[in-house]
Chains A and B, each alone.
Chain A
Amino acid sequence: MEVKRMGQFDIVVIGAGHAGCEAGLAAARMGKRTLVLSMNLEAVAYLFCNPSIGGTGKGHLVREIDALGGQMGLAIDKTFIQSKMLNTAKGPAVHSLRAQADKIAYHQEMKRVLENQENLFLKQGEVVDIDMDQEEGVRGVILKTGVYYGAKAVIVATGTFLKSMIFIGDAAYRSGPNGLSSSDELAEKLVERGIGLRRFKTGTPARVLSKSLDYTKMIPQYGDEDIVPFSFMNEHLSCDQVPCHLAYTNERTHAVIRENAHRSALYGGMITGVGARYCPSIEDKVVRFADKERHQIFVEPESLTTDEMYLQGLSSSLPEDVQEAFYKTIEGMEHLEIVRPAYAIEYECIDPLDIRINLEHRRFNNLFCAGQFNGTSGYEEAAAQGLVAGINAVRKLDGKPPFVIDRSEGYIGVLIDDLVTKGTNEPYRIMTSRAEYRLVLRQDNADERLTQKGYDAGLVTEERYERFKKIKAEAEAERARLSAKEVTPSSINDYLCAHGSAPLNSRVTLAELMKRPEITYDMLAEIDPERPALSRHAIDKVQVQIKYEGYISKQLAQIQRFKRLEEQKLDPDLDYLSMEGIRIEARQKLHDHRPVSIGQASRISGVSPADINVLLVYLEKKRRSLREEA
């Protein structure tokens, strides 16, 4: 087939899922002529699995994406149909926002934003090859139709589409998710060109019709009355929230599953891809946790414009007849009508150890990688990488140093550092426990951590930057006011008694009063008439900063220590292989990885503290001999 050159772009993004959208928007907003290609424009920013965004760790990522000038937070704020702040009793750092999305509206909103973005061109087309080699790096992409688009940089964000296989019972066939085609040629071409690929697996439950369910037998789950927006740009949000419903499997369900477990693709040995431990299918749960009497299921609406419901907790690769049989044993689902069966899906992805901290491939210049292609799982993880890949592709073309968020600055930093430093053996999901500095990486302060960085990189708009500065100033002023304003026992003891708080013996400041667990900023309104009207984001900040000051400063001290190791940079040309005293395995790992700092080196699996000791000794020796020479 004749290849026809049709245009030249600065950056071409392959895929318009959550990674591709953020990557394309970031690149275009930073002034690059950007082409975003999707095999099917109906799949732009499609939520292929659960109809929700956020949750523990993930909600933090969305806040960070927003703080950097990304789109995900704004899009979900426009299209959510239920919102909930999780973990409110477990400490401010694990407060996590989670919203049910109208997945049709979400897709439409994101597509609209892409279509209206200056410098961004969104087209339908399947990339079958990337024109590149290891000397020159990337030159362009070739489409199935023979069209060639020139590109200075390419961002691969192919999600679960590369050479994907669907498994439902003993049916196994080549297909992308949700009936879309898989992208086979590109996978083969990537391998031919020297990109190593491996297979991961994930799955999704059945979609059922709402009208076939009996909600009176389930427990309704409502959203919060006071809705907290994801985006720092939004102040108040409202919508008619729809409930989700909680149901449970039972012994009969498990019996059906056990009797038919051998018919599952997973247990039949057909699936070779690696799935995530934290996202097991129902047959997996029943087999592995045999003593558990029931498993919970959340019934979640897919969209306001469809009757389809998502059954969270019931993903499966059992045959359709078995699916129907066990679903129907669940109380409230006796008459359930499945409209899309559950399936497992296998796809090709890379080993993220093959990419650098700026998400560029180690061997191919200007080839950037993001999202599930890097071995992650989840919309938010994908979007975060897309954003960072977009920024870094632009910076690379502009000859600027990489844009790196470190582990003390954001969950995005934790995510990317984990991927490129430690690698992953299963689809990687963010968790708050992966963050060493969790008490500082809160969702209330994502803007303080990252908006300046995003502004300096040229992605954050003036409007956002001004708002950020205003909220920050408001919070600082209010904190100072609360720390200065004193109340006397006589003026406040009645109030304290009425709120079940111990009376005062002497004057204290309002800030000190707020440190009491039972007292909140809002509660103090009635005895604090002079308070200014504040943005809710500012109130959150003031409250957390005052209440948890001690913990926050402890964590900041830890971060100082962490930064010292991060700041000990390692020469990329170090000859690790000849370093005496470092174990052979570690030498090889360091040689392959080329860590940027002692800190990063210390996190490489297979590099022990003893190896780092030797490395430190080596660097010290080298410093000394340099000093002697000088």
Chain B
Amino acid sequence: MKREGTNTTIAAIATAYGESGIGIVRMSGDQALEIFSGLFRAPSGRPADDSNIEPRRMMYGWIVDPATGNKLDEALGVYMKAPHSYTAEDVVEIQCHGSIVSLRRILEACLAAGARPAAPGEFTQRAFLNGRIDLAQAEAVIDLICARTDAGFDAAFAQSEGVLSDRVNALRDAMLDLLVLVEANLDYPEEDIEEISYDQLEDRLQQINDELLQLLAYAREGKMIREGISVAIAGKPNVGKSSLLNFFVKENRAIVTEIPGTTRDTIEEQVSLSGIPVKLTDTAGIRESDDYVEQLGIERSKEAFARSDLILFLADASVPLSKEDEDLCGLLRGLHCIVLLNKSDLPAVIGEADIERLLPDAKILSTSLTEGIGLDLLEQTLVEWITGGKVRRREDVLLTNIRHIDLVRLAEAEIKEALAIAQSGEAMDFAAFHLRQACDCLGEITGLTIDADMLERIFSQFCLGK
């Protein structure tokens, strides 16, 4: 069905700025086809019209300046008829050479012919407003635009394809089914209908709860994939912290020196480990110092530990543990730690047992940064730690959006409360109350309930209201 009315046609360069082989200019709106027809010429010189345009079929030809007839670029055009397009409106995409000059000239021709420039996210906004994609999908597209790593891109992509929506809707359905049963019992006390027992209620709630927990288990991983994890490097001066950072960064941005105390401040680097963004923070050595700058560095180190998801603690395996090492371990106790017994190329003076005494829960590896020993294992250990050792399948739903995670967590809390009621035999009505709340939480992910506050937050991410 073609949308009637006054949908202005928007146009934008759809591919990333910069030199590349192919670039795309996209238009969406009632006039998209008309504008395209005015700009396109087949190799024979014939303009595009109803007789030779077929939806979803590539056409080869030239884009011309309609005023002068000058050829702007050689191009492929494809028309996607409403509602079978990304925005559910008429969409035309023009593929041309990827040079910025070429793309700009074609975009300008589209604008001259009546389109207006699309605001950031406006194609997605239209897709959402036209009911083409639901809220979860729309938000995922924003994630996609903002995704900084390959794995983040995959998760965002899976969500935008509706994997999250499907999973959430299926769970919500299961909740609704149960709710309907409970409600029927409440509304028809004297009817001869299946009376739901507390045991049945408990079983079904337990199943739902398990699924919610599974979804949440992916959330931790999802958050790391989207936002990355933060890793602090700790150790006394000259133990090899800067070398470790350099190993990850693979370029000499932190200064490596024999003089203790050179790395006075914390240094941060962003790296990608198996597609997961990792923020590495090199901390200054912890030691008693009169030097004001050094003291500042120590304070920052402590703060950096507290903010980090994981700490890589370097100890010099070739010398006995010093008081500084022991003090550092004191600060690290209770935090997630991987200990590197570095300088394994030199004769070992301390071993794993010495570290275990100080940090009983830490994972311990032996490395030599100067010789490059044990670094593959370090990378592998890090990736395993981040992903929880699981091999993730492409179709696993990764919850990466904070709002989604919160809502699933809320739903899970409601189901827990309902479970408690089922177990204690409290009035069924209260179980219904919690079930309803849980349904609403999940419905909010895919936009099945309305909350003006939520909308405000979402629409502040879309460029709206001008």
- B-binding residues in A (CB < 8 A): 56-57, 86-87, 89-94, 96, 294-296, 298, 431-433, 436, 438-439, 517, 551, 554-555, 561, 564-565, 568, 578, 580-584, 598, 602, 608-610, 612-614, 616-617, 620-621, 624
In order of increasing CB-CB distance, the 6 nearest A-B pairs are A91-B429, A91-B427, A433-B183, A581-B129, A296-B192, A431-B187
Q: How far is the CA of A578 from the CA of B430 in the complex (A)?
A: 45
Chain B interface size range: 35 or more
Query: Is the Cβ of B187 less than 8 Å from the Cβ of A584?
Result: no
Query: Is the Cβ of B464 less than 8 Å from the Cβ of A86?
Result: no
Query: Is the Cβ of A565 less than 8 Å from the Cβ of B465?
Result: no
B 123-138 contacts with A by CB, 8 A:
126, 128-131, 135
Give every chain A residue within 8 A of B465 (Cβ-Cβ): 617, 620-621, 624
Q: How far is the CA of A554 from the CA of B424 in the complex (A)?
A: 20
Q: How far is the CA of A598 from the CA of B464 in the complex (A)?
A: 19
Query: Is the Cβ of A565 less than 8 Å from the Cβ of B131?
Result: no
Query: Is the Cβ of A610 less than 8 Å from the Cβ of B185?
Result: no
B449 touches which of A93, A609, A617 (Cβ 8 Å): A609
Query: Is the Cβ of B452 less than 8 Å from the Cβ of A616?
Result: yes
B450: CB under 8 A from chain A?
yes
Who on chain A is nearest to B129 by CB? A581
Give every chain A residue within 8 A of B191 (Cβ-Cβ): 296
Q: How far is the CA of A366 from the CA of B24 in the complex (A)?
A: 61
Quote the shortest CB–CB distance from B391 to chain A (angstroms): 37
Give every chain A residue within 8 A of B455 (Cβ-Cβ): 613, 616
Give every chain A residue within 8 A of B128 (Cβ-Cβ): 610, 613
Q: How far is the CA of A53 from the CA of B130 in the complex (A)?
A: 47
Known: A90-B189, A433-B186. A580 touches B6 (CB 8 A): yes
Who on chain B is nearest to A298 by CB? B190
Known: A296-B192, A439-B433. A91 touches B428 (CB 8 A): yes
Who on chain B is nearest to A618 by CB? B465
Give every chain B residue within 8 A of A581 (Cβ-Cβ): 126, 129-130
Query: Is the Cβ of A87 less than 8 Å from the Cβ of B452?
Result: no
Query: Is the Cβ of A87 less than 8 Å from the Cβ of B192?
Result: no
Quote the shortest CB–CB distance from B462 to chain A (angstroms): 9
A90 touches which of B129, B192, B428 (Cβ 8 Å): B428
B56: CB under 8 A from chain A?
no
Query: Is the Cβ of B185 less than 8 Å from the Cβ of A583?
Result: no
Query: Is the Cβ of A432 less than 8 Å from the Cβ of B187?
Result: yes
Give every chain A residue within 8 A of B429 (Cβ-Cβ): 90-94, 438-439
Quote the shortest CB–CB distance from A106 to chain B (angstroms): 21
Quote the shortest CB–CB distance from A442 to chain B (angstroms): 10
Task: Point out which of B186, B188, B465 has the most chain A C-beta atoms below 10 A from its C-beta.
Answer: B186
Known: A87-B186, A87-B189, A439-B433. A610 touches B452 (CB 8 A): no
Give every chain A residue within 8 A of B183 (Cβ-Cβ): 431-433
Query: Is the Cβ of A94 less than 8 Å from the Cβ of B186?
Result: yes
Q: How far is the CA of A598 from the CA of B4 in the complex (A)?
A: 25
Q: How far is the CA of A375 from the CA of B186 in the complex (A)?
A: 24
Quote the shortest CB–CB distance from A529 to chain B (angstroms): 30
B430 touches which of A91, A433, A568 (Cβ 8 Å): A91
Q: How far is the CA of A269 from the CA of B128 in the complex (A)?
A: 44
* 0 or 1 for each of B418-462: is its CB under 8 Å from A? (1 = yes): 000000101111101100100000000001111110010001000
Query: Is the Cβ of B447 less than 8 Å from the Cβ of A609?
Result: yes
Give every chain B residue within 8 A of A565 (Cβ-Cβ): 450, 452
Q: How far is the CA of A609 from the CA of B128 in the complex (A)?
A: 10
B131 touches which of A551, A554, A580, A610 (Cβ 8 Å): A610
Quote the shortest CB–CB distance from B186 to chain A (angstroms): 5
Q: How far is the CA of A568 from the CA of B459 in the complex (A)?
A: 18
B15: CB under 8 A from chain A?
no
Quote the shortest CB–CB distance from B413 to chain A (angstroms): 12
B7: CB under 8 A from chain A?
yes
Give every chain B residue within 8 A of A580 (Cβ-Cβ): 5-8
* 0 or 1 for each of B95-137: is its CB under 8 Å from A? (1 = yes): 0000000000000000000000000000000101111000100
Who on chain B is nearest to A554 by CB? B433
Q: How far is the CA of A298 from the CA of B187 in the complex (A)?
A: 17
B3: CB under 8 A from chain A?
yes
Quote the shortest CB–CB distance from A372 to chain B (angstroms): 21
Give every chain B residue within 8 A of A295 (Cβ-Cβ): 192
Known: A610-B129, A617-B465, A624-B465. A90 touches B7 (CB 8 A): no
Give every chain A residue within 8 A of B450 (Cβ-Cβ): 565, 602, 609, 612
Query: Is the Cβ of B459 less than 8 Å from the Cβ of A617?
Result: yes
Give every chain B residue within 8 A of A92 (Cβ-Cβ): 427, 429
Query: Is the Cβ of B447 less than 8 Å from the Cβ of A578?
Result: no
Q: How far is the CA of A28 from the CA of B191 in the complex (A)?
A: 40
Give every chain A residue within 8 A of B436 (Cβ-Cβ): 436
Give every chain A residue within 8 A of B5 (Cβ-Cβ): 578, 580, 584
Query: Is the Cβ of A584 less than 8 Å from the Cβ of B4?
Result: yes
Query: Is the Cβ of B188 less than 8 Å from the Cβ of A56?
Result: yes
Give every chain B residue within 8 A of A616 (Cβ-Cβ): 452, 455
Query: Is the Cβ of B448 less than 8 Å from the Cβ of A609?
Result: yes
**Would you list 6 pairs from A and B whose C-beta atoms are within 8 A, ordered by A residue?**
A90-B427, A296-B191, A580-B6, A581-B126, A584-B3, A610-B131
Q: How far is the CA of A580 from the CA of B89 in the complex (A)?
A: 12
Task: Point out which of A90, A431, A621, A624 has the most chain B C-beta atoms below 10 A from its C-beta.
Answer: A90
Give every chain B residue within 8 A of A602 (Cβ-Cβ): 450
Q: How far is the CA of A583 from the CA of B436 in the complex (A)?
A: 29
Who on chain A is nearest to B135 by CB? A609
Give every chain B residue within 8 A of A87 (Cβ-Cβ): 186, 189
B 181-235 contacts with A by CB, 8 A:
183, 185-192
Give every chain B residue within 8 A of A93 (Cβ-Cβ): 429
Q: How far is the CA of A569 from the CA of B387 in the complex (A)?
A: 49
Q: How far is the CA of A96 from the CA of B189 in the complex (A)?
A: 10
Query: Is the Cβ of B451 less than 8 Å from the Cβ of A561?
Result: yes
Give every chain B residue within 8 A of A94 (Cβ-Cβ): 186-187, 429
Give every chain A residue within 8 A of B188 (Cβ-Cβ): 56
B 146-204 contacts with A by CB, 8 A:
183, 185-192
Query: Is the Cβ of A583 less than 8 Å from the Cβ of B130?
Result: yes
B 344-383 contacts with A by CB, 8 A:
none
Known: A561-B451, A614-B129, A620-B465. A551 touches B459 (CB 8 A): no
Give every chain A residue within 8 A of B6 (Cβ-Cβ): 578, 580
Q: How far is the CA of A565 from the CA of B451 in the complex (A)?
A: 9
